Amino acid sequence: MPILAPGIITSYDVPENARDISPLFYGLTLPETALFNRLGVGTRAINKTLNWYDDELMPTSTTLGAAYTAASGEMTLADANFFPAGTIIRCEGSVYRVTDVNPSMKEITIAILSADANHASGKTVEIIGNGQLEGKAFGNTASVKRVERTNYCQIFEQTAEVSGTEGATQLVNGTTGKMSEEIAKKMEYLYRLMGRAIWNGIALNASDNTAPRLMAGVKAFIDTHGYAPSAASFNQTNFDAFLDEISKRGGSLIDIWCSPTVARKFSALKDDSVVAERTDGTVGRWTRSYLSGNGATLTVNSDPACLDTDAIYVFPTSSIVLRPLRPLQMQPIAKVGDSERVLLVGEYSLEVRNSQAMGKFSISG
């Protein structure tokens, strides 16, 4: 007499359950996806919308909102919220101490410390220190605020299909069937696509399943929140000024990222000052790092997945994290004919932390 199957279905009874192949996926390293190769994989996302919080950077400078007349005792700033009494400031060659502030009027009262002079509207006012009176009462200072950042989980998928006949045919290497080889090819292709999306993705939060959700890439976050000045000629003076501004914003001067086409421009810097003697017949030069005028050494990283041929990006790679909602899985698809079909599917988003301290140098000409 046959034994009836139990009423509950367990994982032991479902051989077609999906297999997690994300460790194999993350283990891929392709020359076309240099940034993806170096990314860390963070904790699992818990929703199709990814949220995190960045600190708003405390500014260290502003500009004059109106012309300053020497010995007048007051300055009008573009933003006086971060200049409490006791702040030491410099405008051009003059140094002052703030003695009082009216944030609503954007005015500060100042005491002259050194080289008082007239200053035109729009000139930069730098914070260079803070000096307080002994025994003074506590005063209010600005608070560090946090700002919410959002990205969305994007579904990546590929299918592999092999006919029944091909699946039973022995290959020249002695194995039978091409499904494993086909899966490996499709997984590598998915890796390339994700490498490009990590750079070039545009955020889209679909309202229903008639449109896909799309994750924003690194470039979108830098364009929206980072330091992206107007295009300028690529030379050491302009690029060092760009790096100085990122440093003022609290950015880390660690990594330079760009396309291979742009990376070659670093090899041409100071070309007339470089003397190279080689006897092995090799032609060409590759610049691996850049030493800025302020002493920072940045690694030059070339990534073909960055499609821009007129821009250089500066950000620490450690601030970019891949967040899986569904790590890449392999699962069989129901048969509809004489073939075997497999689905590779994963759902991922990108967390770009402190993008306001990252930068994009656009190259003119």
Residue 292, token pair as written in the block? 């800025």
pLDDT at residue 84, as a whole number: 87
pLDDT at residue 139, as a whole number: 65
Q: Give Cα 280 to chain centroid, integer Å.
A: 39
Q: Where are the beta strands (DSSP E) in 35-186?
A: 40-41, 49-55, 61-63, 74-76, 87-91, 94-102, 107-114, 124-130, 146-152, 154-163
**What are the average pLDDT values for consecutive 10-residue runs of the chain, which has 365 residues?**
53 58 87 93 92 81 91 91 88 92 91 94 89 71 78 93 72 67 89 96 91 96 95 94 87 93 86 59 73 88 95 96 93 77 92 94 90
Residue 170, token pair as written in the block? 């022995």
pLDDT at residue 251, as a whole number: 86
Q: Model-level pTM? A: 0.76
pLDDT at residue 272, as a whole number: 56
